[in-house]
Structure 1
Amino acid sequence: MTTENEQITPADAAIVSSGTGTKGPEERDLPASLKEEMDLCLQILREVLGEFDEKLLAKFDEVREHALNASAERFSGILTDTNPDQDDLQKVVDIVDKMDVHDAQLLARAFTTYFHLANLCEENYRVSVLHQREAAVDENQAVDPVNEMTCAYHQLINEMGPAKAQELLNKLEFHPVFTAHPTEARRKAVEGKIRRISQLLEAHKLLGGSDKKENSRRLFNEIDALFRTSPIALKKPTPVEEADTILDIFDNTLFYTIPQVYRRFDDWVLGDKAGLVPPVCPAFFHP
């Protein structure tokens, strides 16, 4: 059974479903909060696909079911290569081969949306686990026992001494790399929708009654928009578009996160003197 402290990978999360159930390794228990969120996303996505095209929903369910069975077969050691009629993976290939290009693209987009949602649920769960770990540590505690970075920092001091450790840390540099290359980054339009879905999922847990119903309606609209948005840019991004993407990342993440990191680690390094004396060095030099 998976515990709250175990990490669930996107692949683990993506193959777990509600409704028909699963077999083999996919059947292991997930944390209740993660499973509930994934079930909600799958339910809404199926509603979106059913409203778009009932045939597409049927193909999505059929391919997904065969993929789950194929995964279970291979993990259980059952070899079906000698009997192609029972090979679920081959059934998936056959289904896609018989589809025209347009329908195959729609099916691919449906699964792309599915995996976006699965990854999002996994990321939300990991954040919630980190928050739980933070809550378990006292503010004035010198070493955070659940944070490997702070443990490594103190181990470095113990092994090399404060002066040598400080010398090494002063040489560290942080160079974030941002790109709008279509093979390495999600489109800005897709990122915006995923960000809004994440916020709605976070609020969904706390709502009830008509507010929860309104939240579900907005989730449906955002997931529907995500499915209808092409995951691939139709043309190579221009320098202006790349700059716009970087500014979007800055506005939505770095602008808020970097000051928080500075305040957090400056306070941690200086202890009782935090806020009374200048920082020892830029915060990102510290683990």
Structure 2
Amino acid sequence: NERSVAWGPLVVGDIRDRDALRRAMETHRPTAVIHFAALAYVGESVREPAEYYSTNVTGTIAVLDAARASSIENIIFSSSCATYGVPEALPVRETSSQNPISPYGRTKLIGEQIIGDYASAYGMKFAILRYFNACGADPDGELGEWHSPETHLVPRVLMAASGIIDAIEVFGTDYDTSDGTCVRDYIHVTDLARAHLKALMHLEGGGRSLAVNLGTGRGVSIKEIVKAVGRMTSRPVPAVFRSRRPGDPAELYADPGSAREHLGFVPELSDIDTIVRTAAPFFGLKTRPMKLPPVRAAAPVVARRVRDSGGDSSRAGQIR
């Protein structure tokens, strides 16, 4: 997705390539590292655990070592609610037990533990951000969600509405939820971007290391998403109902209080209609008009901070 990088230099490489990481950090001199790079398909992680442990665990160690070598102290880590596994109680809090049920979730938990050990031993600070269900698209229409294969629910429902796929498959209609389908916590990607900025400012402003959930605290069912897509696009959404998949919890949603308390982060675009409204155009769908709340874009804010600090845009270099 090189075309998705609209500002600043891009360095393309493998995060397990220690020499490439070292060169990138020496060249661009970042003041912090935001570590997104990972493999992130739960099902694939079950089939290919070696690749997941190599990329997500060994790669994280390589990133941390390169940061240490360049005297970078602040690390922001993209983690996941998958570290919790099947929750014992709702909402999920940062103090909830972390018992991941997939290799993907285990790699993220191991990454968190490694970062904590590095922070204790080497004087680093960290912000661990545990995403719930990321979705939506850039409100300005510049970037949208598209994976190959696409496994995420919101884009697949939109694909069914647009005819790209024949139907959305719904696994399980007999859960103990309001309509029998699974309930999850969906958070808009623009809100996630804002949360990363707030985490960066927290650390650079002298804040302490922390781990927080990034969610809304509200659960939305699969049927509610299907209805929202139909309502917003005025299109039918063909659906095929199948039996439950093993391991899927009936409900999973966050307690977002810690992110609000420590980072001042409150989602602004994460109601389901706004998520659908921003994502639909990337699947050739028109939606009912609605006014979106003004949200400050992430990249220009970072660029402005770099400029105001007396640096240049090359300090915002990235490696994927």
Of structures 1 and 2, the one with the larger relative CO (CA 8 A, separation 6+) is 2
The structure whose Rg is larger is 1
Higher helix share: 1
- Identify the TM-score tier after normalising by the shorter chain: under 0.3
- Normalising by structure 2, we get a TM-score of 0.25
- Normalising by structure 1, we get a TM-score of 0.27
